[in-house]
Structure 1
């Protein structure tokens, strides 16, 4: 199931959501422009669990791949980088569909702080699950997962239109958000339990950690005066 859009209009302009998408796209264009230097760029600014658990640079890094400011800045910088165009498109699609409602729930300032904190919790979850991994973690998916967790808590009955593909059966169907996001979360947990986490691939537990942190932190960051009004509009 691939979400296409939701039936959950909001009266507020999603300024931060749009800015986050533009920043991620701009950085990926810059990354592509580096050509052969793109891999070194990802190693310099991606979050490497081995380094963050030890506070040291991984000795296996080639020359030019080291982070200029040390590894501690990378949990923040890594969430604005992506390994490929499909990786970027997938994350930005989810952010576009679900981010506007969560931003409306919190307001612009609270939302950007919420987004970044969820991204940090997501990175911490992946590091905890695979502390010796030396492949850099990159991508907005941990932070976006936090947005999904918040959406599930506050808009569980909103209708989400998903592209459903089963062999020759292809349809766009409306499904309640609690089913779409609940299925998505279980899929992340299942794959995370099967993953070794040491080779290149998806940081499944970053998704799990981001999602759970979003479910909890939404109560801290939401604006109470907007909760009831926005939830009523989504039913």
Structure 2
């Protein structure tokens, strides 16, 4: 068992406190505790169920589902990725633009998942589609930056620096390769279509949201 866990940009640390990124994490944690408190009823009420969406019902869940998670590992993993990439993108866009970008990216990602299996009755939930949009924006904005990454494999582990283009590119490749495996599953699983949809949105629109005057050009050795 192994993996890569991004910890943050080692080349270009944020120069401003990431207000929106922090608020998004707080909202996700709050929503997760609501799930733990109220159980399946809460999850069914606020998660996005494709067949309901295509019939024009509970459209608000396209947004609310972005703040919900299926397990402790699900939310912890997503929030780690958001913290690693979101702060610098918020710094480059500005808080308001970043908030708009994040919400639209999440909506696009969830819509891609719904369109991929429109008659599914399985609840779709999670912030990973919106976070994928952030990662796509990071790839376009800071491709050469080095990401401080925790690398582990069975009992081996270390912290190393990996170029953003390599780390994010590898992540996206895994989403594409795994899409064919999960696309026909009817019992749930990882929303790879949401990841791909969100990522492509981030890649295509990043330059529309980034404010060049806010970017930090100093690189650390």
- TM-score, normalised relative to structure 2: 0.92
CA distance in 2, matches of 1:206, 1:197: 15
Which residue does the alignment assign to 2:55? 54
Pairing 1:2–2:35 present: no
Aligned length: 216
CA distance in 1, matches of 2:94, 2:8: 21
CA distance in 2, matches of 1:73, 1:30: 17
CA distance in 2, matches of 1:39, 1:231: 47
Q: Cα RMSD between the aligned structures?
A: 1.6
CA contact (8 A) 1:49 1:127 kept: yes
Which residue does the alignment assign to 2:73? 86
Which residue does the alignment assign to 1:169? 156
Which residue does the alignment assign to 1:64? none
Structure 2 counterpart SS, 1:22: helix
Structure 1 counterpart SS, 2:59: helix
Structure index of larger Rg: 1
CA contact (8 A) 2:34 2:42 kept: no
Q: 1:110 to 1:234 in 2, by over 3 A?
A: farther
CA distance in 2, matches of 1:30, 1:50: 24
Pairing 1:112–2:116 present: no
Pairing 1:16–2:24 present: no
Please show how residues 12-161 of structure 1 align to structure 2 within 5 Å.
12-34=16-38, 38-55=39-56, 70-161=57-148
CA contact (8 A) 2:47 2:124 kept: yes
CA distance in 2, matches of 1:232, 1:128: 42
Q: 1:180 to 1:125 in 2, by over 3 A?
A: same
Please show how residues 180-219 of structure 1 align to structure 2 within 5 Å.
180-195=167-182, 196-219=184-207
CA contact (8 A) 2:136 2:202 kept: yes
Pairing 1:221–2:220 present: no
